[in-house]
């Protein structure tokens, strides 16, 4: 695959000038936790960016595990993406409706992890698109299936054993992107069967703090300062984690914007860790 000429993050004005360009695909990657009471498919039907196709995160995940949003096999991802009319030569822009990149960064990262670098995230998502007075449409996109060859770069993914080996070490940083209340064990998890808390030695940086009040990405200087304020060193290896491997990808995007070395994702994240009854620490990061 050729290197991407796309910025990592694009503005609504950048996109509106290019809508309809052959080879440019827009994906609505919205996904929400059940407790949020939002239906992303219904919202897509009610209004989406012109020409956008709906990327169903659940359907694009491994169906052979009880864990949510685990990466699928190479051929399964390729078949799903190809069915959306996305080919290896296409440029892709992803967005969601959360206002803080809850799921769009995950889909952005999935494409990159499967070898497709020609993907960007729409800054501010549909919230910013609406605030700018841009047009929405209700007509579903008509797509022609394409071939999409995918190959996962496994250096970008960590499993539970690797994360457990990294706990308490100084040379690897585990960064948990859940809220401070969940991280510290004060607030319950959205999945009620799981206890809250965190892995020993983990740092905490809620993913909602990587955007401003308008939902747009922080400027690079402010982003760097926020990450460093959480006790995270940009020049040391990082493993990002969250509840189900979704919102943690916002950190992977942020690190790439800053030119930091490639970080890895703990795909099973807290759902796997807590569900397997691995050691849990409560209280602030130490």
Percent of the chain clearing pLDDT 90 (strictly above): 95
Per residue in 30-73, pLDDT tens?
999 988 999 999 999 999 999 999 999 999 999 999 999 999 99
Catalytic residue, candidates 92, 141, 242, 274: 242
Residue 1 has pLDDT above 50, yes or no: no
pLDDT value at residue 3 = 47
Return the CA Rg of the chain: 18
pLDDT bracket for residue 185 (50, 70, 90): very high
242 catalytic, yes or no? yes
Residue 4 has pLDDT above 90, yes or no: no
Average pLDDT, whole number, for the chain? 96
Per residue in 248-265, pLDDT tens?
999 999 999 999 999 999
* Arithmetic mean of pLDDT, 148-162: 98
User: How many Cβ atoms from other residues are within 10 Å of residue 87's Cβ?
Assistant: 17
Per residue in 86-127, pLDDT tens?
999 999 999 999 999 999 999 999 999 999 999 999 999 999
The SS3 call for residue 108 is helix
Which runs of E-coded beta strand occur in 30-172? 53-54, 91-95, 119-122, 157-158
Tell me the whole-structure pTM to 2 decimals: 0.96
Contact by Cβ (8 Å): 211, 100: yes
In b/e form, how buried is each residue of 193-214, taking b as 16+ CB within 10 angstroms?
ebebbbbbbbbbbbbbbbbeee
Residue 2 has pLDDT above 70, yes or no: no
* Arithmetic mean of pLDDT, 233-240: 97
pLDDT value at residue 106 = 98
Distance between CA atoms of residues 17 and 11, nearest Å: 10
Residue ranges and CATH numbers for the domains of the chain are 9-152 (3.40.250.10), 155-275 (3.40.250.10)
């Amino acid at each position: 695959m050729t290197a991407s000429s796309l910025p990592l993050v694009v503005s609504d004005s950048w996109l509106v000038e290019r809508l309809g360009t052959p080879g440019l695909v827009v994906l609505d990657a919205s996904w929400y936790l059940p407790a949020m009471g939002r239906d992303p498919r219904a919202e897509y039907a009610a209004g989406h960016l012109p020409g956008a196709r709906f990327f169903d995160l659940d359907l694009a995940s491994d169906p052979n595990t009880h864990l949510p949003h685990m990466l699928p096999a190479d051929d399964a991802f390729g078949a799903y993406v190809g069915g959306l009319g996305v080919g290896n030569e296409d440029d892709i822009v992803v967005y969601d409706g959360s206002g803080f990149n809850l799921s769009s960064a995950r889909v952005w990262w999935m494409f990159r992890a499967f070898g497709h670098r020609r993907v960007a995230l729409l800054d501010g998502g549909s919230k910013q698109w609406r605030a700018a007075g841009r047009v929405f449409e209700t007509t579903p996109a008509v797509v022609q299936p394409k071939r999409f060859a995918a190959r996962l770069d496994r250096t970008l993914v960590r499993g539970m054993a690797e994360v457990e080996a990294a706990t308490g070490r100084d040379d690897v940083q585990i960064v948990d992107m859940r809220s401070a209340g969940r991280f510290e064990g004060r607030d319950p998890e959205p999945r009620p069967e799981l206890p809250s808390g965190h892995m020993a030695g983990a740092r905490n940086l809620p993913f909602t703090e990587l955007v401003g009040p308008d939902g747009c990405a922080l400027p690079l200087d402010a982003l760097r300062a926020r990450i460093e304020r959480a006790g995270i060193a940009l020049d040391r290896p990082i493993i990002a984690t969250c509840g189900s491997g979704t919102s943690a990808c916002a950190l992977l995007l942020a690190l790439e914007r800053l030119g930091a070395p490639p970080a890895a994702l703990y795909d099973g994240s807290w759902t796997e860790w807590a569900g397997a009854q691995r050691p849990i620490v409560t209280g602030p990061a130490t």
